[in-house]
Structure 1
């Protein structure tokens, strides 16, 4: 038996490959046949690139004993090997262009027949929309070639090789290749054929490639259309009475395309052999007056970075999942997407055109791992790699050039600087001068049309807005965006409202893109969702891959709800004295005619009256003071407020009628402070102290019950299960407070009883709360009084020693034996913290203890409700003076802190309740800045009270 060793030199070749056709626009033909080759393929996995010969590609090969995998898909998510997550470290030795001999290689085999009506004339192309990371292709035993560029399309001419039945398509896919050095994006390494495979008939005279040029003149209101085509033909747009030859320009009155008003015109490109549907959007993108302008107006990007992700199928997304992403974005007021860090499936861009999203289309390029060696041997500064870089740029631009939603081409991400990037920028500028070029790593803006940064702190962003940031002369004249900011990892991000205030204050600041859209958790039977390290990886970056505004199942996180409020397109502010509300249209292009406005008058969180509010259809940037109706003359007393909402006036493509777009609240009358007149004296006997409805332990002064409701463990609490943002990133400075808190020992505070005193009508318990091994502490006094029915606790805290760090939280914790339903009056319905509370609406809310939990992939502090006036839980009603933060869980903070996955949390018999006077801010220090100083919970003298009674 002979064994033919296959040649695998192409795996480590820096070239983009061989045999593939030149890149062209992606489109679906109206009448040319196509065959989807998605579905079940035979599959064989080998440990090395040369472990098997290539006889499997020959007709007649028996693959009956092979496994099966689904295409599109990743074999490591289908039971063959394991995924690997690294943020920027290459999971193989850095020795470009070489890769390890241990190179998982998947042989894929598909046998297919042509449809009975497949035309006998013309040609055909075989199209791969995405394969990671290197593939070699055979059809009916003929070697078609090989390619790299995982998130880019590749086509092969195959018409001469096809036969009516029994066609054998063989694809050998290598996990590692020279191309892997160019694909070090912060994501899971997932080999496989993960996008569509399609056979396309190419009739004689079919369209090959074409470029739709559709500009808009905002002065005249006219659009100019020209379609350049490799094959001569005609262009028809019936709605505009356009019927011209390809290459000819025509100017007509049109409605422009914007992300707010995504007007598309249906057309068709007709060549001798084919009709191609067109969706034309007229818009003009320019750099003018130091600003990014579309159709003559500066735009403000309220964006997100979007990796493609599904918790089961990885980067293999179906159309409905992509649509779900776009609809969620639109419903949460997002207007822009950066396709981090590769071009998305082309269907996603169709959806951006249709529903309206500005797009930064980013090339499939990142060499971040070379930062470990100070960028030595970086491929983007090595001329040998430049053809591969240019190939990637061309395959992005040519595929996506006909999408009006795309306003920027991005060279890639975190690839340092070098001649290859300059070559890419020059090629793109020459090929498509109608769009701008972006690249964050080019701080001197040599190759780019915008000054772009990631995770710049608030103070630096303000200096940039003021033009005080220095830099080259060219940079100082360019607009600024944050292509990544507000790292949405775990609980957070905090500080969004503070960033948005800067973006809206300074003209040069044109917004930014949150990192990122979705948590990349992988559905797992044991962990719920797995992250880095859960598959036995030797090298990984843990849950840094879970940093999205939506959870892996695409449920919105509190961070997304907060972002929606921060970037809402209508500002609603009130003047309680004047009885008016000021409405401001914060959109760039659309007026307010698509919105209805409604008001509600609420007393103590309950709506007393409601109605509609007449608001003029304000143009972008305009404001109006609108008179509110008179408050009810004989309404109930208490805290009173107006709530005004902006609602979708009719069903839209992305939201139903009544969808809340924006809201605002105006307080008219402040809340009366809860008051308890001390009239019941404490009594001691049988080892107990009774005071009104409460029972205490006589020796320790610990509360044991209120009105028959058992209470345990009430004491001062300063610890929270650290968030990802508390812990910070390993490269951050010494302000990683989660680390400092643990070093100080705040997670293991000791409570010393100094005295239990019965003094007239009060029970006073004096304690000192301090960490072991440290001299700092908190002198804490609990003072209890009662009027016979209600119990009032006043907590006084005095810091002792030199406190150099803020506190995580400050309040009391207590345990209740049975609690499920929760009602409260305060902020809601979701969680909020000092710098994430913009979206917290004051009202009456109800939930269950389980529903109060926020299911972060890595468990951490979560679920606090802010500005709580009172809460009812477990048979108790608790009122606060001042308003407080409320949290309830079926596990302790310590158990939450120790958990790595949600499945580690086992509900206990006690519900642990936190009533917090203060919480430290959240920030986004898992990659960006920590909380601003104004959100610090400093160790300072504090006093706060709670009134406790039985609920009824």
Structure 2
């Protein structure tokens, strides 16, 4: 049975369900709207891999083989009368409703019918669905309040807040979080979903949309035609390439929920778990855990696994919470990262959570070598230090490092550390010996609230201590350096990956060591994923691979963001909603980053995580970096 209970929710077999859904067009680049059974099954599997349980057939009924796959693999379906924003006349519409319902009536996956879309509603056709459907499943008008439902398209966050407080209809937007390029979908979903679930009559929602729609143009040498910004709005690419939001959705909509962000100081192996299934007890699921040691920047080896184990699912009914106990060995804190994977009753992975065990730390250096003298020379414009055969040059007018040379090559790092988004005026360029060390300490005007100290020590990597303070609302916070984009070939890092993040899309990544080659991918206009340029989360160290000489920077605190260059604005973008703000520098070490919007809404309309970074008083942010050239 499938029924709407007014002022309550949507029920399947007398159990309230929440639709975690997506809109799906029938499309493949080489065959247009014509799909094979194999492709239809593959799409259903991809939808389920994101932990979705529902799909809307926008804006026409699919191939029967797609519905058969939904029946057998398990997806709720909204089946829809063909059309888009314009209604059929009654004569033609009567024939089409009969053809639709008679063809598809026996598919158990179909839980409701949609009569048109976004104003394309012929009210004189509504009664006909029940005429051909003995089960008399619900008929909705997507986008309209109708038949006890509120299916508002593209609500902003405040609409969701308002309807959660005052709405009287069962709420499930049949299109929301309109993905465009890398915006929407996973970005903002965490806040939207949390608020949607506070609606007393919540029934979930359907993201727009499943995949970018590109057509391979043989008359243009195989170019993928996405029609400007009309089609690059999927979670996957035209050939089902996975964007970062794929994994964000997978985590947010996992029926097994774990909210623990970091390991508590007194962690005893107990993890709070919530069962968000509708029908399944968690004793039908299973878990695996493993400890891992991560390679250092210079190592070519992969991470090495330590202890691991399997755990039977715990008895938790839908909606219940309880503790899962991981039998960690006594020496577990000597590992670098803990992974926990949940599997469903069919041994399919629901999600893998990861937690760094150790804090970021300075690199290990070989102090056994005899120390060499630090040589200092200066001109009117520049100060040069030579330490252990490496030359460092500073601009005395700005206080910034402007060049490094090692035995192999010049390294064109310059312009930093600059305070992101703030112009600082150098007041004094201090430099002095301190025991065996040499200190460079630019002093900036008081208004900048920016302190910098370089510490050079023979036999050790260069250390940079910095402090800054900002107040009010800012797009980003931290320090940056310049480095020529044309020299960069890739990056290797320890932190969350392999995908970039936004302030409102931090979920879905995994802690580990990652290695990405340079690309200039513009999400939805080219499809080499993961995209290279952008923000990365929880960086412990990063190696900048380049044509000169690779160098590594280590951080001192968890939750440091790293900026790798600036993504290009999409050619098809008609606004800046999906073009987030970036600092002027090329390489940034940041405490705050910007959020991204959707096709129709700027980021600030998408909820708390999408707001700018805010500090209401002048508290100081402190950090250290170590540079290994």
Q: TM-score range by the shorter chain?
A: 0.7 to 0.9
Q: Which has the higher contact order (CA 8 A, sep 6+)?
A: 2
How far off its partner does 1:487 sit?
1.5
| SS of match in other structure, 1:690 | strand
Distance 1:490 1:689, change over 3 A: same
2:343 is the counterpart of 1:647: yes
Conservation of the 8 A alpha-carbon contact between 1:543 and 1:858: no
- Give the Cα–Cα distance (whole angstroms) in 1 for the partners of residues 6 and 15 of structure 2: 10
2:566 is the counterpart of 1:893: yes
- Give the Cα–Cα distance (whole angstroms) in 2 for the partners of residues 365 and 346 of structure 1: 18
Distance 1:409 1:706, change over 3 A: farther
What's the counterpart of residue 826 of structure 1? 495
Conservation of the 8 A alpha-carbon contact between 1:790 and 1:947: no
Map 1:125-144 to 2 at 5 A: none
- The CA RMSD measured in Å over matched residues stands at 3.7
How far off its partner does 1:778 sit?
6.5
For 2:70, which of 352, 355, 370 is the aligned residue? 352
Conservation of the 8 A alpha-carbon contact between 2:384 and 2:393: yes
For 1:486, which of 165, 177, 180 is the aligned residue? 177
Conservation of the 8 A alpha-carbon contact between 2:384 and 2:394: yes
In the alignment, structure 1 segments of 5+ residues that lack a partner are 1-282, 369-378, 470-475, 533-541, 720-745, 769-776, 902-910
Deviations, residues 496-535 of structure 1 (Å, cap 9, x unaligned) = 1122223444441111111101111233557943332xxx
2:530 is the counterpart of 1:856: no
Conservation of the 8 A alpha-carbon contact between 1:884 and 1:917: yes
For 2:506, which of 826, 837, 849 is the aligned residue? 837
Conservation of the 8 A alpha-carbon contact between 1:825 and 1:842: yes
2:322 is the counterpart of 1:620: no
Aligned residues: 568
Map 1:339-738 to 2 at 5 A: 339-367=57-85, 385-415=89-119, 421-432=122-133, 433-443=135-145, 445=146, 448-466=147-165, 468-469=166-167, 476=168, 478-493=169-184, 494-524=187-217, 525=220, 528-532=223-227, 542-573=228-259, 576-592=266-282, 594-602=284-292, 607-616=305-314, 618-633=316-331, 636=334, 642-647=338-343, 659-665=348-354, 671=359, 674=362, 683-685=376-378, 687-690=382-385, 692=387, 693=390, 695-700=392-397, 701-705=400-404, 707-708=406-407, 710-715=411-416
Deviations, residues 663-687 of structure 1 (Å, cap 9, x unaligned) = 33456x551554999x997823465
| SS of match in other structure, 1:342 | coil
Map 1:273-284 to 2 at 5 A: 283-284=1-2
| SS of match in other structure, 1:326 | helix
Map 1:18-37 to 2 at 5 A: none
| SS of match in other structure, 1:868 | coil
Moved more, 406-415 or 626-635: 626-635
- Give the Cα–Cα distance (whole angstroms) in 1 for the partners of residues 570 and 428 of structure 2: 33
| SS of match in other structure, 2:179 | coil
Distance 1:485 1:349, change over 3 A: same
Distance 1:457 1:765, change over 3 A: same
Distance 1:440 1:401, change over 3 A: same
How far off its partner does 1:815 sit?
1.8
- Give the Cα–Cα distance (whole angstroms) in 2 for the partners of residues 359 and 481 of structure 1: 14
| SS of match in other structure, 2:61 | coil
| SS of match in other structure, 1:843 | strand
Map 1:112-191 to 2 at 5 A: none
Deviations, residues 324-343 of structure 1 (Å, cap 9, x unaligned) = 21111112211100111121
When normalised by structure 1's length, the TM-score is: 0.54
What's the counterpart of residue 300 of structure 2? none
Conservation of the 8 A alpha-carbon contact between 1:487 and 1:926: yes
Moved more, 304-313 or 603-612: 603-612
- Give the Cα–Cα distance (whole angstroms) in 1 for the partners of residues 281 and 102 of structure 2: 35
Deviations, residues 428-473 of structure 1 (Å, cap 9, x unaligned) = 2444353111113432x2xx2422112222333233234x13xxxx
What's the counterpart of residue 814 of structure 1? 482
| SS of match in other structure, 1:847 | strand
| SS of match in other structure, 1:568 | coil
Deviations, residues 231-268 of structure 1 (Å, cap 9, x unaligned) = xxxxxxxxxxxxxxxxxxxxxxxxxxxxxxxxxxxxxx
Conservation of the 8 A alpha-carbon contact between 2:361 and 2:554: no
Conservation of the 8 A alpha-carbon contact between 2:156 and 2:606: no
- Give the Cα–Cα distance (whole angstroms) in 2 for the partners of residues 854 and 594 of structure 1: 41
What's the counterpart of residue 577 of structure 2? none
- Give the Cα–Cα distance (whole angstroms) in 2 for the partners of residues 718 and 386 of structure 1: 65
- Give the Cα–Cα distance (whole angstroms) in 1 for the partners of residues 271 and 566 of structure 2: 42
When normalised by structure 2's length, the TM-score is: 0.79
Deviations, residues 72-95 of structure 1 (Å, cap 9, x unaligned) = xxxxxxxxxxxxxxxxxxxxxxxx
Conservation of the 8 A alpha-carbon contact between 2:156 and 2:601: no
What's the counterpart of residue 785 of structure 1? 455
For 1:762, which of 415, 431, 439 is the aligned residue? 439
For 2:43, which of 312, 325, 329 is the aligned residue? 325
For 1:871, which of 528, 542, 551 is the aligned residue? 542
- Give the Cα–Cα distance (whole angstroms) in 2 for the partners of residues 495 and 572 of structure 1: 19
- Give the Cα–Cα distance (whole angstroms) in 1 for the partners of residues 176 and 556 of structure 2: 36
Conservation of the 8 A alpha-carbon contact between 2:114 and 2:140: yes
Deviations, residues 199-233 of structure 1 (Å, cap 9, x unaligned) = xxxxxxxxxxxxxxxxxxxxxxxxxxxxxxxxxxx
Deviations, residues 161-220 of structure 1 (Å, cap 9, x unaligned) = xxxxxxxxxxxxxxxxxxxxxxxxxxxxxxxxxxxxxxxxxxxxxxxxxxxxxxxxxxxx
